Amino acid sequence: MRRGFHLVAIGMLGTAIMLAAGLGPAMAQPRAHVYLFRGLADVFSTGMDTLAEELNKRGVYATSHNHADWQSIADRAAADYKAKKEGPIILIGHSLGADAVMEMADYLGDKGVPVALVMPFDGTQSFPAPGNVGRVINFTQRDYAYMRPGVGFRGSLSNVDLSANGNINHLNIDKSLELHARAIKEILAIVGGRRIAPPSPTKPAPGAAGERGATQPPDIGEAAAGGEHKSSAAPAATPPLRERVSPPQSVNPEQIPN
């Protein structure tokens, strides 16, 4: 009887050693999560839904929400992060949703949760970038809505000024294919291998090529901020974007998930 007990104990010890050495079953890795927020009345920010769909097609877990729900969503995100269920966290929003992601980032900072990237699309006011954020890329048409470094911020901050681009306004900035491409490129650089699934093959949608929704957003290698989407039609002249980057600052590696 005692011998049997010893054998069980030895077996349990061996299993523990294997797990500690990484030889046992693979531990579940936290998934990256991109939170997107729509603006007023959930009517004018359908580009946030489209961007979420495109990210999910590429295997990046993304969800789209009403801007008014940001605090309850932040509470859940903080709990999931601390339970090692998700990370890195990325926040994107349009209009009032852009304001919401800046507030949510600050709120998560109060809870000790890092945010890898915040990307506002034409927010209504200026916010300080909080110290728990690794990078802010602010697409804006108004200089009074430039984001600025806040107390303890040591990340990267870019204000991409779109005021000279006559093709973009407050009601369509969230749907810009070029800005979606820039967003996807930045997100994939952060997410790396933390995808929920391999990218799905792209299939052409039915309908005329010129119809909105009948074509896929440009490949991330073809477009960046200021780039033009390739098409058979003659491209309209687009003024170059002005991107103002704050001076390089050191980033504490403990603040940003790997």
How do residues 86-124 score in pLDDT, each as one tens digit?
999 999 999 999 999 999 999 999 999 999 999 999 999
Instruction: Give 134-161 pLDDT, tens digit per residue.
Output: 999 999 999 999 999 999 999 999 999 9
Q: How confident is the prediction along the chain (258 residues), in pLDDT tens digits per residue?
A: 555 545 444 455 554 544 444 444 445 789 999 999 999 988 889 999 999 999 999 999 999 999 999 999 999 999 999 999 999 999 999 999 999 999 999 999 999 999 999 999 999 999 999 999 999 999 999 999 999 999 999 999 999 999 999 999 999 999 999 999 999 999 999 998 666 666 655 443 333 333 223 233 333 333 333 333 333 334 444 555 566 766 544 333 333 333
- What residue type is 162 in one-letter code? L
Is the bond preceding 88 in cis, omega lying within 30 degrees of 0?
yes
**Which residue, 190, 193, 197, 196, is CA-closest to 257?**
190
**Which residue, 40, 62, 98, 83, is CA-closest to 194?**
62
Domains assigned to the chain: 30-199+215-228 (3.40.50.1820)
- What residue type is 204 in one-letter code? P
Residues pairing with 138 in the sheet: 159
Residue 95 backbone zone (phi > 0: left; psi -120 to 50: alpha; other: beta): left
175/165 Cα distance (integer angstroms): 14
Q: What is the pLDDT of residue 2?
A: 54
Burial class (CB in 10 A: 0-12, 13-18, 19+), 212: exposed
Length of the chain: 258
144/192 Cα distance (integer angstroms): 34
